[in-house]
Amino acid sequence: MRAMRFHQHGGPEVLTFEDAADPVPGPGEALVRVRACALNHLDLWQRRGMPKVRLPFPHISGADVAGEVVSGAPAGTRVMLQPGVSCGACPQCLSGRDNLCSSYDLLGYMRDGGYAEYVKVPVANLVPIPDHVGFVEAAAFPLTFLTAWHMLAARAALQPGETVLVLAAGSGVGQAAIQVAKLLGARVIATAGGAPKLERARALGADEVVDHYEQDVAAEARRLTDGRGVDVVVEHVGEATWEKSVRSLARGGRLVTCGATTGHSGSIDLRVLFARQISLLGSYMGGKAELLEASRFFFEGRLRPAIDVTFPLCDAGAAHTRLERKEQFGKIVLEC
């Protein structure tokens, strides 16, 4: 098959479109012809290299995949793939918390992903999609919507009528979190940089928007809540925004984070933590059942991944560059 691989860490130039061996599915696995694969920030980390992480080489990234079943399930079935792969047998997996499995992995991380013509996955990771859902949209859905769903519905236990601050509306997690928070009945304040992105954040359902280049996010969060602060902050930016995210919280507020794109350090004054009764919540992916739950709203058209632009698989380097320069609003998708 043709695949976009890298043999060493580095810039977009290490991505090489070349021949690779066809994946051979094992017992309980399906082979899928990839039609679309969405980018995630994780793909950039993988390509650049991460401390203490040794990726298999040559490496095929790509956690968000849609395509057609070739074998292992009825051939031709249109599917999107659960990005998380777990053992399926431990107490965490059996209780539906498979993202806490000690052997939890992602497509395109320790196993080959979707930057290729074919990918193999456990049959349990196949999610059939209805005919009216296109492959590009389907590939753009799983990782970010599963992440946002788990952050808001499970970790933060968001209640109708609460106010949520969503950072970076144009990011994959941001655009998903706005929609999930609205679906759960919350009021949403979203941040983005520049008028065009603020307009798109409103179109996705944000009730209020804040320009994070021009305005003080914490001050705006207070102003827009009559001085109270927000009930929940959706964090994924990290070091650059952490302090203001904490300052945006109301008494009893919850800060839920799934990423640290701008740096790994964040501190908090412990007096603020206890006196204001703040909860700091970590979140990573979500359970398989949660993706199925969120998918119902996707198939009904009530959750719609924002698509930025598509590239052919052979132009994955240009796609990476666009994501690295933060030029996108929503998901960048490779077509194959």
Q: What is the amino acid identity at position 232?
A: V
Q: Is residue 285 near Zn ion by the rule CB under 5 A?
A: no
Residues 6+ apart with CB under 8 A from 241: 167, 212, 217, 235, 262
Q: Is residue 217 near Zn ion by the rule CB under 5 A?
A: no
Piece of 101-109, 136-144, 210-218, 326-334 that binds Zn ion (CB under 5 A): 101-109
Q: Is residue 86 near Zn ion by the rule CB under 5 A?
A: yes
Contacting residue, 73, 87, 184, 280, with Zn ion by CB under 5 A: 87
Q: What is the amino acid identity at position 194?
A: G
**Residue 142 CB-density burial (10 A; 0-12 exposed, 13-18 middle, 19+ buried):** buried
Beta strands in 139-237 (DSSP E): 163-166, 187-192, 208-211, 230-235
d(CA 261, CA 18): 30
Contacting residue, 4, 32, 85, 93, with Zn ion by CB under 5 A: 93
CB 288 → Zn ion: shortest distance, Å?
11
Pairing of strands 187-192, 208-211: parallel
Minimum CB distance to Zn ion smaller for 94 or for 314: 94
The kind and range of the H/E element at 297 are helix 288-299
CB 105 → Zn ion: shortest distance, Å?
10
Residues 6+ apart with CB under 8 A from 128: 77, 78, 79
Piece of 98-106, 164-172, 242-250, 305-313 that binds Zn ion (CB under 5 A): 98-106
CA 167 to chain centroid: 13
CB 108 → Zn ion: shortest distance, Å?
19
**Residue 8 CB-density burial (10 A; 0-12 exposed, 13-18 middle, 19+ buried):** exposed
**How many residues sit close enough to Zn ion to count as binding (CB under 5 A)?**
5
CB 266 → Zn ion: shortest distance, Å?
29
Piece of 23-31, 94-102, 246-254, 261-269 that binds Zn ion (CB under 5 A): 94-102
CB 285 → Zn ion: shortest distance, Å?
13
Binding positions for Zn ion, 3-32, rule CB under 5 A: none
Pairing of strands 208-211, 118-122: unpaired
CB 122 → Zn ion: shortest distance, Å?
12
Contacting residue, 1, 90, 240, 280, with Zn ion by CB under 5 A: 90
Contacting residue, 38, 63, 101, 178, with Zn ion by CB under 5 A: 101
CB 88 → Zn ion: shortest distance, Å?
6
Torsions phi, psi of 48, nearest 5? -75, -30
Minimum CB distance to Zn ion smaller for 26 or for 51: 26
CB 112 → Zn ion: shortest distance, Å?
20
DSSP designation for 150: I
Q: Which residues bind Zn ion (CB under 5 A)?
A: 86-87, 90, 93, 101
